[in-house]
Amino acid sequence: MSVGFKWIVGTSLVGILACSIFLMIPEPEDGYSGPPSDPFQRKIYEANKKLASVTLRPTAYVSKATKVANQSGKSPFSCHGVIPISGRPKLTMKPVFLGRRPLTDLAFAPNDSDRLFFLEQNHGNIRVLRHGKLMEQPFLNIRKQISNHGERGLLGLAFHPNYRLNRKFYIYFTGRKGEVRIVEYTTSANPEVADPKSARVLLVIPEPEGNHNGGALRFGQDGYLYIGVGDGGAGGDPHGPIGNGQNPGTFLGKILRIDVNKTEGKKPYAIPPDNPFRNKKGFLPEIVHWGLRNPWRISFDSATGDLWIGDVGQNRAEEINFAPKKVLGLNFGWRCKEGILDYANDKHCAKKKLVGPVLHLRQYKTGFPRYCSVMPGYHYRGCKMPGYRDTFFYTDYCINQVRAVRWDGTKPNDDKRVMKTPPLRITSWAEDHQGELYVASGRGHIYKIVPQ
């Protein structure tokens, strides 16, 4: 996005991702199912069909597992004691925590439904809510280790799938020189306090600029840690002749996938044996997907293991990308493409096999910002509202609403606003042990999405 910034939340969290200066944000209209009437959206619809059949690999869109999971209507979570609500009820947000410091991520640890953990971007704290009550002592404080201005700070959190036994968790932050750091910690004997001396550094990635730091950190159903790293910043990915997103020799502009349970050579982790570029000359073996600008948030479908990626756009479009489980090595196009639109006229772009977004979200309408920094949520598989189990939820930092799109495993349908919200500046999503959804905001709040 353009280099002008507006400080929306005091002196922090600029739009996570560098929004253009603006005065007002009109709300997006409801989405569409099938060819839309709006001329611009119709152009996108037709272009997406063309790209999917010609330029893009259509296999990137197809998930038979999604179709099976939707048809079964079953939740992968334990729904004991939950009384479901039929149909697709109207939704609202239930306050869980109302703080003042900008939040960047939140998560529940596996097999621990009592505690919700969340990150304070600038103070370097991981805080704990136990049964909705804020614990006085931070779970972990790394303030002296982080750079914390603009888009930097403590950005991502993920718990090991076997956390109940090994008590390991992982954080994503920018270090004192602006570099990206992925570090493993272990919880102490007190489940609400981490051991600060247990740090094990997994990755250090130099960042040439102060923005586009990424921040996504999630474990897949395969047990591997997935890491979403930005393209290195500035604007338009001006790094080298083809940019970082299309450069297979850098971690920047990529989704990485590592095995934190093993080591390999001098690496404090191992490369999964099926990583697509493990043995390909010129590629870093950690890369699992590439061609991304700033993959701030990712999530996995709890029923199918499919991967959803939110990639923050430059000046014209936000995009949500999709990779079915076990479909690896996809190139999502940046900086050749911004969404479905051409961006850079690099000669190599015509030769690349590029994959377009599932959702292309236009940033501007009649001269005003519309979307600015996409915040993908989860494909809902929860217990309380089975009527939404074919639905992917998402929002954007600059729109005052939550949206939902039906996903049949092949294409998105019925993209609509399902809830108006206050100007929260939503920054991340979490899924609890019954598949219900939570959001964190740049204003310091946490909410649970519930039926009215």
Instruction: Among 2.120.10.30, 3.30.360.10, 1.10.10.10, 3.30.70.270, name the CATH number for the domain at 39-451.
Output: 2.120.10.30
Are the beta carbons of 195 and 185 closer than 8 angstroms?
A: yes
**Residue 443 to residue 438: CA distance in whole angstroms:** 15
pLDDT in tens, 82-102: 999 999 999 999 999 999 999
Arithmetic mean of pLDDT over the chain: 88
Q: Which pair of tokens denotes residue 427?
A: 């920054």
pLDDT in tens, 257-302: 999 999 999 999 999 999 999 999 999 999 999 999 999 999 999 9
- Tokens 């119709």 sit on residue: 42
Are the beta carbons of 20 and 373 closer than 8 angstroms?
A: no
**pLDDT grade, residue 42 (50/70/90)?**
low
Q: Which pair of tokens denotes residue 363?
A: 């940033």
**pLDDT grade, residue 23 (50/70/90)?**
very low
- The dihedrals phi and psi of 56, each to the nearest 5 degrees, come to -100, 160
pLDDT in tens, 381-423: 999 999 999 999 999 999 999 999 999 888 888 999 999 999 9
**Residue 207 to residue 174: CA distance in whole angstroms:** 9
In degrees, to the nearest 5, what angle opens at C-alpha 233 toward C-alphas 231 and 237? 60
DSSP 274-338: T-TTTT-TTS-TTEEEE--S---EEEE-TTT--EEEEE--SSSEEEEEEE-TT----B--TTTEE
Domain ranges in the chain are 39-451
